Structure 1
Amino acid sequence: MVLRQPISAGDAGAVHKLTGGGSSGDASRSDYVLDSGGAKVPLVRDTLLCDRCVLVDGRLKPVLEARFERSRHSTRPESAKGSLGTEDMEGRPFHGPTQELSFVRNLTPGRFSAVLVPTGVANVQRWQLFACNDTTGRVDGFSVEQGAQGLFNTQGIRFHTSPDPAFQDAVFERSSGTCPFTGRDLVPVASGGGHGETALRLTHEGAPAALVVADTLAVAVYAHVSATFDGTTAKLYVNGRAAGSGRCRSRRAPGVPSCWAGRTRAARCATSPTTWTSCEEGTGCARRPSWPRTWATG
């Protein structure tokens, strides 16, 4: 696994977005997406990229993947006669794709680190990432479960156990199913510490105001919680239904723009109706705010 930063947007080898979709590095093209200043928008910037490599004779080489030779897809053949291989029909190798860690934003060049750490569950490890945010001047920390092929599972694994407390110590599964002792459906394992397993807490601690709603959540049942804030009014939604709103005084950190564009965050409840945790920060956000944008209490 190799973590690296993308080259600068002005580099001769940079790839930029096209207005019709896709990307290109051809300097002679004129159909590039432009930002407000008229500059071409790079495909990726100020984030982390991840490549899977193997060490061969002291050199790192990209991992080859098995795909269908004609369709060049890993699971969909062009026809019933499609065959798997590491090259297409023209002899071009199928290298593993570069992954973009889009949750890392505004990365200061060269200032990041990553470590793979064990957990209390056998054969489950987590990536701990630290990245210096060039916009806020702070260090952002991310804890992400290791996924398939050593990559990143931002949704995490939901463990299951027996619905009968008498057998919960003997049943611990990585997916839903049937309890071998009772014949009933397995239930999600509830965290005993009151925190989500993947975990960004949504709290009003340190915020200039709190938005309080009367809704309660069932224990060990997923709930979707989202919030919006336009600089004046904060609104909270629980399972897609408006749960409350209120005027809140905005407090902006130095150097951070006064607006934030992007999808709201998904949230899940842990074991307490007054504890709110997020399973993952929403992807596609233009900026990651460094101050509280969501307030929720029971």
Structure 2
Amino acid sequence: MSVEPKSGALIKWAMVISVSSKDVPSIDELSTDMLEFSRWFMKNLSVIGEQINVYYDYEASPSCVHHVEPGDEVGVVRAYEAIRVAFPDVIVVLHILPGPNSEEYLWMKRCARRYGLIRQGVLYENAKNRFRNMPLDEVCKNISQWIARSFYIIVHDTEKPMRVGRGCRTLTLKYPMNSKDLVNSVMTVIHGNALLSDEGSETSVRVYGLPTTFNEFSVAQVFMPLQIMSVSRRDSHFVVDFKSVFQALEAVLYTGKVIDTLFRMIVKPFSKEIEDVAQEYLEELQTTSTSSGISMMTG
């Protein structure tokens, strides 16, 4: 059964192709074939990943494509560096590898780690035949789990350098990734104001009952199309800040939303006023549905 991926915040990705120009009619034809494959592959990752509670939606096409001849280590490094500099919002790199046990696999791992990217290698042979004679569902589930773990590692890595700025005007910082000073600095740079206190604000809500595989991107997708200002993880829940009080109220009405057969979301506002208004609305809706003989179902 084909299931379309949920709409929401889309993850940007890039592609590096390490295939010899001698093995293909032309680089243009190779790029076209791999572009078609990559679009098909990333869409399947999104759709099949939902079966194991990995809710990632990817852009329909890569932000950029780089071709590097096999054996060219410098070319691979330059490709990853170019991705990071020209497309800093790219998170995932799909790397087409020339063959099993290739040097490119090691270079891919090293470059992804250096530039804070999530890498996924695919053998050229498998890309050409779209994993023919292989269980596509299992392939995509395994890769989706790997990407989810990689997201978690990037977010929760205990210590890593971070560059703030652009071009030559950058400042390199090194904080523990759970440092409140770091989070406050980033929020100030992005939003122009200091981080909200742990108590939250009237536009913030706490979200409970989500799968353990969920990260900040997954949570943001659940609340689309509401306008989200920030999502942060706590020990037992997430805190989501919306653009307005009215959107925070609307978010509270997501309470009871079924994520899958095992998880049911609970949304609690920081504001007592919003909680009271939401409760009154839900009670009124329940009364109306009951009197009309309609059974309320949330999903």
TM-score class normalised by the smaller sequence: under 0.3
TM-score normalized by structure 1? 0.22
TM-score normalized by structure 2? 0.21
Instruction: Give 1 or 2: higher helix fraction.
Output: 2
